[in-house]
Amino acid sequence: MTLITNHMPTEELQRLDAAHHMHPFTTGDDLAKKGARVITRAKGSTLTDSDGNDILDGMAGLWCVNIGYGRDELAEVAARQMRELPYYNTFFQTTHVPVIALAERLAELAPGDLNHVFFSNSGSEANDTNIRIVRTYWQEKGQPEKTVIISRKNAYHGSSVASSALGGMAGMHAQSGMIPDIHHIDQPNWWSEGGDMSPEDFGLERAQQLEKAILELGENRVAAFIAEPIQGAGGVIVPPSTYWPEIQRICDKYEILLIADEVICGFGRTGNWFGSQTMGIKPDMMTVAKGLSSGYAPISASIVNEDIAAVLGACEFNHGYTYSGHPVAAAVALENLRILDEEGIVTHAANELAPYLKEKFESLGDHPMVGEVKVVGMMGSLALTPDKTTRAKFAADVGTVGFMVRERCFANNLIMRHVGDRMVISPPLVITKAEIDMLSARARKALDEGYENVKAAGLFKAMS
């Protein structure tokens, strides 16, 4: 066995990584040739790699390190919990203190009567749980034919077989197929799909697709609608203002359960504790993960309202994971929530940082390759385009130009992701204003350099 440490030369770590480690959502052979970037430590909003570069993390890991890196309190709580009770399950009529406390805290934080919590370990598992909750709910209510869950194209709800089917990522469906009774409607992405419509009309049209789908599939068949308040992995797509009120109206009218997937939007990301509050919706269920523990430990949850809890409470719900409500993860999450609240991180981000981020990020809108710029709270995106006025796509495969800009972000020590030809950001909620200045300066430099490369490659032209 090789002793592998932070002090090994980067090439050696890369070679070992390529030899044995399979990366998610990656073309392994290409990465093996190039070598993965090795991250060795992190503090606040800054990552350090094995070559000693300091990189500004404009993505908070994968949209999750809301509290920032390097909080000793979380490490201490984890160590204490591991010593006291490293593991016990919550099956067979047992419980433990961290899970009791975390469920109580989540019931307090979650809006309305979302007061009951089922724990899992990842957003994917929580969404699988949601499918089972929804179908069990309708069975128990004597309507077993209500099994269809409506979702949206370009939604992301996870990578397990069921949650990837629930999501709307065509590439994922193509590789592993679908599960029965999931139906997708179009997404409210005005920039890419709005054509000549106003954003408001387009928002309404996309929301009304839900009503059409319910009527086509049959009111008696549709169990639930699931959506992210703001699509994250799909490219930080902020729906037009008309969209959510209409969706809410339709869900209420046909009495279908509304599931808000808050995996990215939760815990301060959009300027409130939950994205549902920012978008003014009243879900019956919420999926939470990521910011719940700020990524320090894997934990997720389905939070349901009183009605669903009452129906499920009357039957045996045949579901659960070995690590549902894991004591160490629960203790870490609880401490994370305490700090987010007591240090005023969520309110400071909403009141002080978000307006500043919006101003700085929107200033990139004057760049020749940038079309719309959207910022809500502490998440944002910008659309790359060869023609702002027509909102044209590039004459290249989608994502080619986005990837070229992301490469320049990496080279300039900024983590800013691309989703197709949109660039997305979601920094830690503890980023400073000086770091926001740095983020926008590095983003501009990456855009400038990317623009030169795109022109040199003959790609700065519209798809005909």
Binding site for ligand PXG (CB under 6 A): 62, 122-124, 127, 156-159, 228, 232-233, 261, 263-264, 289
Sheet containing 422-425: which strands, arranged edge to edge? Answer: 370-376, 379-384, 422-425, 417-419
Cβ of residue 97: shortest distance to ligand PXG, in angstroms? 25
Q: Which of 292, 358, 298, 261 is nearest to 66 (CA)?
A: 292
Close Cβ partners of 55 (under 8 Å, ≥ 6 residues apart)? 39, 46, 47, 48, 49, 413, 414, 415
Bridge partners of residue 214, in order along the sequence = none
Residue carrying structure tokens 């209420």: 252
458 CB neighbour count, 10 Å cutoff = 9
CB nearer to ligand PXG: pick between 48 and 159:
159
Read off the amino acid at residue 175: Q
Cβ of residue 59: shortest distance to ligand PXG, in angstroms? 8
Output the residue with the shortest Cβ distance to ligand PXG.
Answer: 123
Distance (Å, rounded) from C-alpha 414 to C-alpha 406? 9
In 199-253, the DSSP E strands lie at: 222-227
CB nearer to ligand PXG: pick between 204 and 236:
236
169 CB neighbour count, 10 Å cutoff = 18
CB nearer to ligand PXG: pick between 204 and 238:
238
Cβ of residue 11: shortest distance to ligand PXG, in angstroms? 27
Cβ of residue 25: shortest distance to ligand PXG, in angstroms? 7
Bridge partners of residue 222, in order along the sequence = 148
Close Cβ partners of 147 (under 8 Å, ≥ 6 residues apart)? 135, 138, 180, 181, 221, 223
Cβ of residue 50: shortest distance to ligand PXG, in angstroms? 22
CB nearer to ligand PXG: pick between 204 and 429:
429
CB nearer to ligand PXG: pick between 127 and 381:
127
Distance (Å, rounded) from C-alpha 298 to C-alpha 417? 22
Cβ of residue 322: shortest distance to ligand PXG, in angstroms? 16
Cβ of residue 156: shortest distance to ligand PXG, in angstroms? 5
CB nearer to ligand PXG: pick between 60 and 311:
60
Phi, psi of 459 (to 5 degrees): -100, -5
- 129, 142 contact by CB (below 8 A): no
CB nearer to ligand PXG: pick between 162 and 404:
162
